[in-house]
Chains A and B, each alone.
Chain A
């Protein structure tokens, strides 16, 4: 087999640069395999996160030849010939080498108002398969945060992190908003504090999702349409007034906070 040259970003918050490593290429290897061989031979102090090596834990997110990808799911022989560039996720502050501080995402997760079901009816809650299936797609998320990484709203504009939840959490909001047992109305929250309006639907989150979740089509756009129902559609507003249907807002005091 031919050799493979890896240009890996080495550094921390004080600065960094690329270092090149040339190794023999083994058949069927993924980028994470080569990173592990570099650790074993040339650079035992090279930092990277990994866990399952099966595309299910979401730990080994990085940017390979500039594209946000999972290192364990990117085969070396499918990349173009020439040196392979591996850098940490650009959107988050670097800790060391390929490891970034993704705690922004945990902060946003803590802000999601929890499911608020109605009082338990006699015989317990019931959900039907049609409604279970709808949210199933969103529960495939492995929280690799590649969608957050590629989203230009925070990738290129750090200041937006203060008021923008990002695609990973929009699928969480969508799942809750589509849940038949949920009585919360998060539309004000999504518009005013989670920054749904900042998304300009360039669909990069969908392109990089390793679970192939249709983030934009099935979560973000339906949320945008729900926000239009609540704030920008006078006919929908009139319909609610006539039928006297107003849901509880998730910004109300009655909301159960997330644990």
Chain B
């Protein structure tokens, strides 16, 4: 029988109290996992479909607009629609441009501390809810491959920042209306809102909070880092809300651009 070695030795494996049941909870603990599975599954199905479409992701000069879907930006493939490219092309890549880039935002969200909480509960049932029994007989957490790779979260965070810069650039580029000059359309606002939510999601990230200020031992000796940490801490408390809002709005932005590009929707000019 194993023991915990210390000045106080504890014999493990004693009999526990209470009945041997999955849970004694009487509330609707299953609602949260069901909602999480439903929304994330719907997003995965939609984003996979959108990534393989390889069309209707850009509204260009013929429509006097410059709107690109966030799923396809930056557009790096040989097959990019005219005007959608950001200047650098990978000539050997003829598949959908989205497949080149989606790994990075996907990796950022998959390794995000909030999403980890959600999918470990909802998809892996480890555990499905608090004080509800784990569905697995053995458990090694994030100590082994592949889950030890969750420790790479900060690198996906860095990549996410690069994408945020690109999507912010796209939002400013959407102010340009080829043949008409400059102006603001509904599409411009959608792209700006999308970029803003993604910035807020990134800045509220736990890794960001640590890297910019949380890692120091003394705030007094690092006043600028302390200031960053103080700014980020309330945002960090809203990380869950920002994770969902930014996820859903990315999908909405793609839907909007797709509808305008296919001619099903008019992108109205505001001024």
Which residues of A are interface residues toward B (Cβ below 8 A)? Answer: 9, 11, 13-16, 18, 63, 65-68, 80, 82, 85, 87-94, 97-98, 100-101, 103-104, 106-108, 110-111, 128, 130-131, 134, 150, 152-153, 155-162, 177-180, 182, 195, 197-204, 207-208, 214, 216-217, 221-222, 224-229, 231-233
Contact = CB atoms under 8 A, between A and B. Distances in A.
A111 B214 contact: no
A82 B24 CA distance: 14
A227 B142 CA distance: 13
B83 to A, nearest CB: 37
Nearest to A204: B130
Given A13-B14, A156-B139, A66 B215 contact: no
- Quick one: which of B3, B138, B215, B226 has the most chain A CB within 10 A? B215
A68 B25 CA distance: 10
Contacts, number: 195
A157 B134 CA distance: 9
10 contacts: A66-B26, A82-B26, A87-B17, A93-B15, A104-B4, A107-B9, A110-B8, A162-B4, A200-B142, A221-B113
A197 B139 CA distance: 11
A104 B27 CA distance: 30
A43 to B, nearest CB: 16
Contacts of A178: 217
A153 B139 contact: yes
A157 B138 contact: yes
B134 A200 contact: no
Contacts of A87: 17-19, 24
Interface residues of B, number: 58
B8 A106 contact: yes
Contacts of B140: 198
Interface in B1-41: 2-4, 6-10, 12-19, 23-27
A50 B207 CA distance: 40
B143 A85 contact: no
A202 B120 contact: yes
B52 interface: no
Contacts of B142: 197-200
A89 B16 CA distance: 8
Interface string B127-165: 100110110001111110001100111100000000000
B24 A85 contact: yes
User: What are the 3 closest A-B residue pairs judged by CB atoms, nearest first?
Assistant: A93-B14, A66-B24, A94-B17
Nearest to A232: B151
B109 interface: no
A49 B173 CA distance: 66
Given A107-B6, A107-B8, A130-B226, A202 B17 contact: no
A36 to B, nearest CB: 19
A93 B4 CA distance: 14
Contacts of B210: 221-222, 225-226
B219 interface: yes
A87 B13 CA distance: 19
B64 interface: no
Interface string B194-225: 00000000000011001100110111110000
A137 to B, nearest CB: 11
Contacts of B117: 200-203, 216
Contact of A130 (B152, B215, B220): B220
Given A90-B18, A198-B141, A226 B215 contact: yes
B126 interface: yes
B53 to A, nearest CB: 34
A201 B220 contact: no
Given A13-B14, A107-B8, A156-B139, A201 B24 contact: no
A167 B24 CA distance: 23
B116 interface: yes
Nearest to A10: B17
Given A182-B217, A216-B117, 18 more contacts: A65-B25, A66-B131, A90-B16, A91-B16, A92-B16, A98-B17, A110-B8, A130-B219, A150-B131, A156-B134, A197-B141, A197-B148, A200-B116, A216-B113, A217-B206, A217-B237, A225-B207, A225-B211
Given A162-B2, A202-B117, A221-B113, A128 B14 contact: no
A201 B152 CA distance: 16
